[in-house]
Amino acid sequence: MRVTKGLPESELTSILAGASALVVRSETRVTARVLDAAPDLMVVGRAGVGIDNIDVPAATARGVYVVNAPFGNVVAAAEHALALVLALLRSIPAADASIRAQHWTRTNFMGSELRGKMLGLIGIGRVGSLVARRAAGFEMQIIAHDPFATEAVARGLGATLVELDDLLATADVVSLHTPLTERTRGLIDAGALAKMKRTAVVVNCSRGEVIDVDALADALERGAIAGAALDVFATEPLPADARIRRAPRTVLTPHIAGSTREAQTNVAVDVVKQILDVLDGRPARDAVNAPRPPSDEVGGAAWVRLAERLGSLAAQLLESRPDAVELRYSGALLELDPEPLRASAAKGLLESFSEQRVNLVNAMAIARERGLDVAERREAEVDRYATLLTVRVGGTEVRGTLVQGEPRIVYIDGFWVDVPIEGHLLLTKHHDKPGLVGRVGTLLGENDVNISSMQVGRLHPRGAALMILTLDDPVPDAVREQIGSFADVAEVRTARLGVPQGAALV
């Protein structure tokens, strides 16, 4: 592990060769050039919430996870927003400066109470919702504007959803808690400020670009609004000639809303846990460019792993590259978000045909680039098992389920089986006759290939059958060809599930 601070892009790129993970704060910009300098990079961790300093599309195209810690500092940010409101309405910074200058002019610092004031929250996500709950303790009235929130969510916070113009015209305190998007960039501009009451104040602990600070400085200088408290700025550090520095009735802090000891610990732990998950081949909980894994309460991680292995097995049983894949969900899977299952199955399928890195980050993008059509079906009724995940590619169909919480392959091309999802597999389609299993086992033993499990599925006695052997070692090509020459053996295939190319299980 290497820790560095304040590196320009040229120096950062020079030290990234061979790096598997990169952790940054808000000042370090992770550009396409930086990513190109780290071909082994698997994950970029942002120790915080905002990821606008990371080129997420470039990372996605390269199959690099981008993870953040959206919950680690939310309490700190919510508390800081209310601290700014109190500091502004009670003129605390100015009063402190006055007394340090040996003045005692109490009449200059007549303040306002929060009780009874109308708080207008623009955004009631993770931070905004916490601000709402804390503001209720001050007996404030709360209105909110959030295109993605429901009436039920707002009611649960004691807030009423309103249109943005209504919020601006009504609120005594306007507090911003929105991500930076093209829709929110410059959201509070001269026009928005003109709609606010002259007695209103605006607080921003979200992203600096959400407010046009020059328009805000102008409104403050003209007395169009009563005050502003800002923790974030479009350009940081704040330039010496920034007009907002000289604007009256302001409280400015240097992007410290998330800077508490507790938050820093929470953020560090959250990001490191996700980085370790990625490095260990598990999906990251808060990846911003990959599907969020289903809850472990419903076996989420196991279903994602099963989907990948089903896709991989289907690909290895095909004769040619596929142009379409169909996924079918039944039983308890109908209640899950299919996105991570879809991406995982595509990952398993594409890894057999693609030379580039394929993971949950870029699997669907690569599928689109290769013209792979991904279709999905939801089935209320299923065979044999209450819940089944099916992957069908060309003429190959495989199904899986969880047995006592563990993923198993239970169906391959018309045969019901019970196969683990780890190991080297040898599959034979043959005519069910006595002696074949023994001959295959003897041949493998003579070539030092160890069998860990065996399954035979058949349609009826002495009819068409499928034998699946799970092996600790790969089958040499010559041995596979010899098995294929046995009488009554119609087809022999091998596959690897969860085993790197050339590796044996130990």
The answer to whether domain 9-71+262-279 and domain 74-252 are alike in fold is yes
> Per-residue pLDDT averaged across 297-311, rounded?
83
- Do the Cβ atoms of 37 and 267 come closer than 8 Å? no
Query: Is 236 one of the catalytic residues?
Result: yes
Tokens, residue 421: 């999802």
pLDDT of residue 296: 59
CATH 3.40.50.720 fits 9-71+262-279, yes or no: yes
Instruction: Name the active-site residue from 207, 392, 430, 496.
Output: 207
Q: What is residue 504's predicted lDDT score, i.e. its pLDDT?
A: 39
Instruction: Judge whether 446 counts as a catalytic residue.
Output: no
CB 175 within 8 A of CB 120: yes
pLDDT digits 0-9 by tens, 15-42: 898 899 999 987 889 999 999 999 999 9
Give the integer Cα–Cα distance in Å for 244 and 251.
10
More confident residue, 168 or 50: 168
H/E segment holding residue 457: strand 451-458
Q: The pTM is what? A: 0.65
CA distance linking residue 47 with residue 42, whole number of Å: 16
In whole numbers, what is the pLDDT of the chain averaged over residues? 90
Q: Which pLDDT belongs to residue 6?
A: 65
Return the domain boundaries, the chain. 9-71+262-279, 74-252, 291-421, 422-506
pLDDT of residue 506 exceeding 60? no
Please state the three-class secondary structure of 341-375 as a single string: HHHHHHHHHHCCCCCCCCCCCCHHHHHHHCCCEEE
Q: Which two tokens stand for residue 366?
A: 């690569």
**pLDDT tens digits for 487-500?**
888 899 999 998 65
pLDDT tens track for 116-129:
999 999 999 989 99
Tens digit of each residue's pLDDT (9 = 90 or more) over 71-104 = 888 999 999 999 999 999 999 999 999 999 999 9
Average pLDDT over residues 228-256: 96
Select from 279, 392, 376 the least CA-distant residue to 329.
Answer: 376
> What would the CATH number be for the domain defined by 422-506?
3.30.70.260
Q: Is the peptide bond before 237 cis (omega within 30 degrees of 0)?
A: yes
What is the C-alpha to C-alpha distance for residues 484 and 475, in angstroms, rounded to an integer? 12
Task: Say which CATH architecture domain 74-252 belongs to.
Answer: 3-Layer(aba) Sandwich (3.40)
pLDDT of residue 370: 83
Average pLDDT of 130-146? 97
Is 424 catalytic? The answer is: no
CATH topology of domain 291-421: 60s Ribosomal Protein L30; Chain: A; (3.30.1330)
Catalytic residue among 236, 335, 406, 481: 236
Q: Which residue in 46, 177, 255, 496 is the catalytic one?
A: 255
Say whether pLDDT at 299 is over 70. no
Q: Flag whether pLDDT at 502 surpasses 60.
A: no
